[in-house]
């Protein structure tokens, strides 16, 4: 069964001034009260498909369009054009804490994120202690999140996201840099063990990651995205080797 079908997908964003733009256009913008914007195509002619139970990896440098692609599949972003079809329940998990509210405590954020990801308050209460224990942040449950380090934020976000996902049994699981757990060796080890349970749970998994070893281990097919385009796709070892050999040329 085909779970994801993408054909000719493209996406643009309206961007403000380039850093290199000169003084004159900036002065004109200040006088007119309008900011000059430019349209940037962040994805261009993306096409691929994924079958039920298939694991697909997406690799590429920062800014290549990996996260934008996953968010379009998840329905968070609207594509500029092309065909994007998904079949079944889609869950998107991001490692960067996009749902965390800085002025709320860790405990309050667990409830908020759980609700956002579709759990009821009772379901979150049942999982609360397990989430906290898994994160290793037991001493910070009543601490406001804005006081957390970036590593602590990633651990909290991973712990909430991973426990909420296992409860929902998605047909399509989209993992956006979630492998980069930001923890110590022990936390990273148990995070990967938890990831294995998800990856082998029967869902179609599409993961974007800089961790090439994980991509190679768990994915049967890999897309290399650069400047919004798929420049190579195929077996993990072949695509990863190409990426490594040409890394300095991809600018």
The count of C-alpha atoms lying within 13 angstroms of the C-alpha of 36, restricted to the half-sphere facing its C-beta, is 14
- Beta strands, E only, the chain: 2-15, 38-51, 55-59, 81-86, 90-94, 172-176, 204-208, 221-226, 229-234
* For the chain, counts of helices (H) and of strands (E): 8, 9
Q: Where are the domains of the chain?
A: 2-30+37-249
Per-residue pLDDT tens over the stretch 121-155: 999 999 999 999 999 999 999 999 999 988 888 88
pLDDT at 167: 74
Percentage above 70 pLDDT, the chain: 87
Longest dimension (CA), the chain: 60
- For residue 97, pLDDT over 60 is answered with no
Q: What angle do CA 244, 95, 52 make, to 5 degrees?
A: 75
State mean pLDDT over 171-190.
78
d(CA 192, CA 178): 10
What kind of architecture, by CATH, is found in domain 2-30+37-249?
3-Layer(aba) Sandwich (3.40)
Environment class of 240 (CB within 10 Å of its CB; exposed 0-12, middle 13-18, buried 19+):
buried
Per-residue pLDDT tens over the stretch 7-49: 999 999 987 655 455 555 655 555 655 556 778 999 999 999 9
Q: What angle do CA 222, 48, 247 make, to 5 degrees?
A: 40
Residue 226: phi and psi, rounded to 5, are: -145, 130
């Amino acid at each position: 069964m085909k779970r994801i079908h993408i054909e000719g997908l493209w996406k643009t964003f309206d961007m403000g001034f380039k850093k290199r733009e000169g003084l004159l256009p900036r002065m004109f913008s200040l006088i007119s009260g309008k900011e000059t914007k430019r349209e940037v195509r962040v994805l261009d002619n993306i096409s691929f498909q994924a079958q039920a139970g298939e694991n697909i990896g997406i690799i590429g440098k920062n800014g290549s369009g990996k996260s934008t692609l996953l968010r379009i599949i998840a329905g968070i972003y609207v594509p500029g054009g092309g065909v994007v079809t998904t079949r079944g329940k889609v869950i998107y998990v991001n490692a960067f804490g996009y749902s965390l509210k800085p002025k709320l405590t860790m405990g309050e954020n667990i409830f908020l994120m759980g609700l956002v990801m579709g759990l009821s308050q009772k379901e979150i209460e049942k999982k609360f202690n397990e989430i906290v224990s898994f994160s290793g942040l037991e001493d910070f449950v009543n601490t406001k999140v804005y006081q957390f380090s970036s590593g602590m934020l990633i651990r909290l976000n991973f712990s909430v996201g991973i426990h909420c996902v296992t409860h929902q049994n998605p047909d399509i699981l989209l993992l956006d840099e979630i492998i980069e757990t930001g923890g110590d060796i022990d936390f990273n080890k148990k995070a990967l063990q938890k990831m294995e349970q998800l990856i082998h749970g029967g869902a179609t998994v599409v993961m974007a990651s800089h961790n090439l070893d994980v991509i190679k281990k768990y994915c049967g097919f890999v897309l290399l995205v650069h400047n919004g385009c798929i420049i190579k796709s195929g077996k993990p070892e072949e695509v990863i080797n190409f990426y490594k050999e040409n890394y300095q040329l991809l600018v």
